[in-house]
Amino acid sequence: MIPVEFPRRLATLLLRFAIWIAPHDTHDWGHGMLSELNHVEGNWSAFLWSLGGAGVLAKRAILAVILPGSHRRTVSSASELFAKELPVRKTMLAVIASCVAASLLFFLVPVFRQAFQVSLAQWHDVFHAKLSFGYPTRDLELDALAKKAEQNRDAEALAFAAVRYPNAIQRERLANEAVHLDPNLTWLYAVAGTAYLSPSEIDRRVSVLKQWDPGNALPHLFAAQKIGATVTYSKEFPLGKLEENPAWEKEMDAAFQSPKLDNYLDRQKQLDHRVLSRYRLDDPFQAVSGEDWYGFPNYGVGECSLYARLLLESGKSLESRGDRKAAFEKYWVVARFGQMMGDGAGFIFIMRKNMKEAYTRLGALSQMEGNNGAAAFYAALADQFDKAADKQRLLFRNRFQGSDVSHWNAFLVRLSGLLMLFCAALLLLCALGIVVRSRPFRLSSLHPSRLTLALGFSAAIGALISSAVLFVSYWPYSELLQRFLSKGDDAQLFELSAFLRDTQLPFGSQFNLGPGSWYVASWSVVFYFWFAVTILCALALLVAVFRHFQTRPRTSAAA
């Protein structure tokens, strides 16, 4: 509970501080407001009185900085006044120096340096707005790694870079070189996907994959995806008629008949861990760059759903014609392929409805055949689908949208990073102001004004607090990263991934698909940022011109 006298005490403190920073010619007025405070009725009224008065004095103080000629000191000797305040100023300077030193000491801690780099990620879009629209930017660390890997003929490092490289041509070259050096890395062709590749290169990779891992459905799915991408929109096969393409049907049939479906993402994670450890890379963005898609299929998802639907319709048709055995086969192929996809994202977003229907039909057919045990089993599987799907959906929402904790921590990291830069800039401005004002420069003549001292003090305290907040907010995520780098433990890597995804948004923008979600595009924040910078630059120019004309020596009329 707030003590009754608290607002009045706060009001007194506020007004005293405002008088302290105010230019000398307004001190009488400030003390006048302060003396009136004793007569203001009501504690909160006194606080409001003080707030208004402090605002007036602060405005004068700022104007005195911009237009120094308009508020000249009336005391005879500035050095005399300084001598009286020497202990206060010395204490404040000591506090400022301590805070700045403590903030700089944070940089000695590697985790803090990493946290600071993460907090700078929000500026990427601000300074690379043109490049971010579909054109990934260069990554110097990745460039260096790729160069080193090529020199050392390190196939794993080349594969690591190939998956992450922003340039498609370079990515293709690095992947081919990695597989050439180590054919055991052929799975890299599957992880890298088919995006940005020429049809002939896709064909070549599919052929290599089919030979390297003959039992896997994945190469067939890639081949079908390529046919879908190149044929669907042609005149011969208009949209929606993909199923009439025999080549596509052949590849899909081979995929659904394959004994296994391996998307090699586990291998990729293991390789990531090995390369990160070997090259001592501790960039969290590189560590989690594949995390967003771990668990999601890297093949054509629409094709699987379409072919499963075709099989189900074909099964129903066979069923109506009385061929239960053939119908059973069709339903079973769909159910088996769904099982191969596992209970991940593919199950939820692609095959859930088809699988439920397949199990329902299998149950019905078993019932017709008089196999009540099998019928009950399939019916139970079909019933469990909705519950299982809801549970998985919730898990995936947390995984890919991030928890509230990660959103908050990312917000704190962005805010504290921003405050650190702001406070550092303010401190620099104060230091520059002091040096410029005491021309010719002499160390003994450096006497900061009260306002400069107050601003410097606030900035130093702000820098220290924001450094501490940045460190504390990032600490848990550095632990997650270290756990992955040292032990290969990726259990919570998705949390780090969600956190890092948020930290890359410019402050003020938000991309959240949770309940009550809202969206502020980063490009609009970037626009407002540069708009504000332009306006501030124009204002600064105006003030500079105004000051120039105000302070330039005037020639006499006689001259």
Partner 1 sequence: MKTPRLSPQTLRVLERFIERPTAWRYGYELSRETGLKSGTLYPILMRLAKYSLLETKWVTTEDGVPPRHTYRLTPNGIELVRATFANSRVGLKVRRPAFSGGRA
In this complex, which beta carbon is closest to partner 1, that of residue 67 or of residue 421? 67
Residue 16 Cβ vs partner 1, minimum distance, rounded to whole Å: 13
The CB density around residue 363, as the number of other CB atoms within 10 Å, is 22
The H or E element spanning position 33 is: helix 27-37
C-alpha distances (whole Å) from 118 to each of 257, 414, 504, 536 are 46, 8, 8, 27
Residue 7 Cβ vs partner 1, minimum distance, rounded to whole Å: 15
Applying CB under 8 A, the residues found at the interface with partner 1 are: 26, 28-29, 31-36, 38-40, 48-53, 55-56
Instruction: Identify the burial level of 275 via C-beta atoms within 10 angstroms of its C-beta, where 0-12 means exposed, 13-18 middle and 19 or more buried.
Output: buried
In this complex, which beta carbon is closest to partner 1, that of residue 60 or of residue 501? 60
Residue 44 Cβ vs partner 1, minimum distance, rounded to whole Å: 13
In this complex, which beta carbon is closest to partner 1, that of residue 13 or of residue 97? 13
| DSSP-derived 3-state class of residue 511 | strand
Bond before 3 cis per omega within 30 degrees: no
Residue 61 Cβ vs partner 1, minimum distance, rounded to whole Å: 14
What is the DSSP secondary-structure string of 309-358?
Answer: HHHHHHHHHHHHTT-HHHHHHHHHHHHHHHHHHTTSHHIIIIIHHHHHHH
In this complex, which beta carbon is closest to partner 1, that of residue 28 or of residue 479? 28
Residue 40 Cβ vs partner 1, minimum distance, rounded to whole Å: 6
Residue 46 Cβ vs partner 1, minimum distance, rounded to whole Å: 10
In this complex, which beta carbon is closest to partner 1, that of residue 49 or of residue 256? 49
**297: Cβ contacts below 8 Å, ≥ 6 apart:** 263, 304, 341, 345, 346, 350
- Output phi, psi for 345, to 5 deg: -65, -35
In this complex, which beta carbon is closest to partner 1, that of residue 48 or of residue 104? 48
Name the one residue in this structure whose structure tokens are 């064909």. 203
Residue 53 Cβ vs partner 1, minimum distance, rounded to whole Å: 5
In this complex, which beta carbon is closest to partner 1, that of residue 38 or of residue 320? 38
In this complex, which beta carbon is closest to partner 1, that of residue 56 or of residue 65? 56
Q: Which contacts of 494-499 are long-range, i.e. CB under 8 A and separated by 24 or more positions? A: 494/291, 494/294, 494/399, 494/400, 495/402, 495/403, 495/406, 496/284, 496/287, 496/288, 496/291, 497/288, 497/291, 497/292, 498/399, 498/400, 498/401, 498/402, 498/403, 498/406, 499/402, 499/406, 499/409, 499/410
Residue 549 Cβ vs partner 1, minimum distance, rounded to whole Å: 20
